[in-house]
Structure 1
Amino acid sequence: MTALDVQDIASPTQISGKLTGRVAFVTGGTRGIGAAIARSLADQGATVAVGYSRNRDSAARFVTELAETTQAHGAAASAHPGNVGSAADCRRTIAEVIDTHGRLDILVNNAGITMDKTVAAMTEEDWYTVLAVNLSGAFFLSQAALAHMTERGTGRIVNVSSVVGETGNIGQANYAASKSGLFGLTKTLAKEAAYQLAKSGKRTDDGLGITVNTVTPGLIATEMTAHIPEKVMGKLTAQIPVGRAGRPEEIARVVHFLAADASAYITGQVWSVNGGMDM
């Protein structure tokens, strides 16, 4: 089954919200929140490509697992190595996904790193490396993806930020700045995508269009938080109104909602999924 193109959409009621026939690329997609997003998109019927930076064997195992789901839907799965902090690698991996699967409908900019130090102790490398991966990487991946999506007339980009981008955090000036930067990037990309679609004559009142949104997770139970001492975790969760850390699957649900055809009227928005931490 192939995905519907804009001209195949007769009315908004025909938009199913399912992802069958869609191709998604999730950066940092082999573990933690990224892996949950990849599984969620696969459960919705999408072909899923995942990006990873280092562990080829682990990525291969994950794709084998993911393929069990995608193949059940008549879809596929693949893994693509690369350094998100490199503009050239960003462009190459987008081209690879399109060459492998014939199209790209959904880009999830999930890859991110931390190099935590106080402002006084932070080096130039600490600052620039985190910004390069978390913010510049999202820009260069989106830039390459948008060229393809604009040509086709449809697409979804979802950036994964963090509550720290809203609140700041001691020892995370670089991380907070990079995640906050995604808010402005999201809104600008959303406006430019809409403008370019209209300029190309491919925008239709009943079409799927191109949307760009951001999801901001709060404290989520992943491998990255597993090392936090129980006493410290207790103090952190005590500050969350719902009284617990989130689950990766709870982020993934919001991402696949925003990626769906039926979410065509949502763009340039920041979706907080943090148990009420920012209230």
Structure 2
Amino acid sequence: MVLAAALALDALLGEPRWLWRRLPHPAVLMGRAVEALERRWNRGRHRRAKGVAAIAFLALLAALAGWALSVHWIPETLLAAVLLAQRSLAEHVAAVAEALRRGLPDGRASVARIVGRDTAGMDEPAVARAAVESAAENLSDGVVAPAFWFAVAGLPGMLLYKMVNTADSTVGYRTARHERFGWASARLDDLLNWVPARLTALLILAVTATAPRGVAGDARLHRSPNAGWPEAAAARALGVSLAGPRAYDGAMQDYPLVNAGAPAPGPAAVEAAVRLLWRVWAALLALGFAGTYSA
């Protein structure tokens, strides 16, 4: 009941600005905790070992907080809803489609809010690709994965996942500063997302009645062991090509196309991706209710 109610509440309310202007969002608190340990421990010798200790401590802290808050279904539901990102993701992706229909400069400005790649030189297909890829990847990370870990281990599992995912987003980069310290966070995030990423792909294929042929092969082309699965499934479900070359910090990266040979996406594909997000959400809601009545 809690998971289904949380999915419904998140879809109804999303991220109310009036609340988060007054209170820090749990994800913000997690980010601050990661940054505090990074500033204190990411120095001197044995940085990889310190990173292992840091993520172990933070994950344990998150799980204990989840256990302490699992006192009643109402606080459990409210916090679980806060940690899901369905409505906010759908709104951000829909905003790109709306902006792109107004013109390329608006589309670039809108997609820059949800992706980390360079957007100044993007053409329309590149903007649409970035939006669809963000929809697919964040569907996995922000909706399916937290819901999956709640189903497996309740609020402690969900909070532990969100802490690890936040740590990966904060220190899990291959930069001179973070490569050693953030190694454990990145690897643990890969592990925790292994099943949800593939589950997301299966849900995308199931709700669109799309054949899985080629998805696994395209998923393996991705630089991430997990993100390629929802992206490859979305590419085939929407009938578009994704990925391909893109620039980060002024340097062009020559990534292969996913679903090569299919048309490049445009605003219509971005709008279709938003509808796909809600179809997968509906499937998760149905699974949540099924789990409630079968328990």
State whether TM-score is above 0.5.
no
Compare the two structures and name the one with the higher strand fraction: 1
More helix by share: 2
Q: TM-score, normalised by structure 1?
A: 0.31
